[in-house]
Amino acid sequence: MKVAVVGVTGLVGQVMLKVLEERDFPVSELIPVASAKSVGKQVQFKGKSYSVIGMQDAVDREVDLALFSAGGSVSTEWAPKFAETGTYVVDNSSAWRMDPTKKLIVPEVNASQLTVEDKIIANPNCSTIQMVVALGPLHETYGIKRLVISTYQSFTGTGVKAVKQYTCERDGIDNEDPNAYPHQIFENCLPHCDVFFENGYTKEEMKLVHETRKILGDDAMKITATAVRVPVDGGHSESVNVELAKSFEMADVMNILRNGDGIVVQDDISNNEYPMPFYSKNLDPVFVGRIRRDESIENGLNMWIVADNLRKGAATNAIQISEYLVKANILRQKTLA
């Protein structure tokens, strides 16, 4: 099938190419797409070189699948144009996530919601994805009343601009481009992910609130979050305090997590084994550890959740959605027609 990667020259776009190749997704024709300034550049896929084309050219080719990672404004303008030709769009921006007419999908949790009519599918925020993979089976078994979330998010989640800022600060050289952050990120932590809202929370923090409720299907779930940008090159970490609706035994919780789809439990404190972003880099699972009862409240649980934000937090999740569309014979509909 014809697959377009929109925003192919960006960090996530490049990882999408790697993941498509690694997972042997059925690409008969790759259509690399980017902004006008990148048209004509070369990208590599499966040992071949491809020329980047513009948005309208890609729409005109009536591709089967378009993987978007080019920002909200681009998605708002162009995703419907692709969808009008029959293309299935999996969008990595925030443009469609809270649209009530669009599905917000983490395959391990709610892929079964997808139908032939879902031409534009939203890929959640990176920090939300890894968390709900771990929380999904617990919510299904016990129900979740409240979440208190603290994130420790890699600067790579901000994109190329942030990577350059960090590199320049680390190497002690002047950055010719505007910085991504209002403060130094090298050897620093910024309790500031995205813009601030009037309520004092950042956009990233409110994404965790609203997206989690939508994916888990519970608008009454109480959630609060603090999102922190850290000088880690790849991989988001999260400290999540969970108040469950039902009582639980720790052995049952551990068993549920160990058998959870997409989860790797790393929890052996006697041998200092717990998830760390350094070891999650370039891997697809969600790693969970430091799993312990919160002794300060009834039915409380603490856990530490880590994943590669460019893979499971973005590219891999989008391609897993696409794989489900193929498996469910949804993505084939246009091709067979």
Q: What is the pLDDT of residues 201-214, one digit of tens each?
A: 999 999 999 999 99
CA distance linking residue 190 with residue 201, whole number of Å? 14
Q: Do residue 141 and residue 283 come from a single domain? A: yes
Q: What is the mean pLDDT of residues 101-117?
A: 97
Domain at 262, CATH number:
3.30.360.10
Nearest to 63 by CA among 38, 86, 93, 90: 86
- Answer yes or no: do 109 and 146 share one domain: no
The catalytically annotated residue of 126, 183, 192, 193 is 126
In three-state secondary structure terms, 149 is strand
Of the candidates 43, 26, 25, the residue with the CA atom closest to the CA atom of residue 6: 43
Same-domain pairing of 183 and 296 = yes
168 and 303 part of one domain: yes
Judgement on whether residues 34 and 106 belong to the same structural domain of the protein? yes
- pLDDT above 70: residue 196: yes
Is 327 found in the same domain as 289? no
Residue 139 and residue 278 in one domain:
yes
**Domain identity same for 154 and 38:** no
Question: How many domains, the chain?
Answer: 2
Average pLDDT score over residue span 215-237: 97
Are 161 and 287 in the same domain?
yes
Whole-number pLDDT of residue 41: 95
Q: Model-level pTM? A: 0.95
Is 183 designated active site? Answer: no
pLDDT for the residue 331? 85
Residues contacting residue 9 through CB under 8 Å, at least 6 positions apart:
34, 38, 41, 43, 52
- 277 and 230 within one domain: yes
Asked if 262 contacts 133 with a C-beta cutoff of 8 angstroms, the reply is yes
| pLDDT at 65 > cutoff 90 | yes
**Residue 305 in this model has a pLDDT that exceeds 70:** yes
Among candidate residues 316, 122, 148, 304, the one with its CA nearest the CA of residue 211: 122
**pLDDT digits over 22-63, tens only?**
999 999 999 999 999 999 999 999 999 999 999 999 999 999
The pLDDT value recorded for residue 334 is 53
* 111 and 143, same domain (yes or no): no
pLDDT above 90 (res 336): no
CA neighbor of 105 nearest in space, from 120, 86, 116, 117: 120
Q: Which domain holds residue 81?
A: 2-124+314-336
Whether 210 is catalytic is no
> Which position has the token pair 């995205």?
194
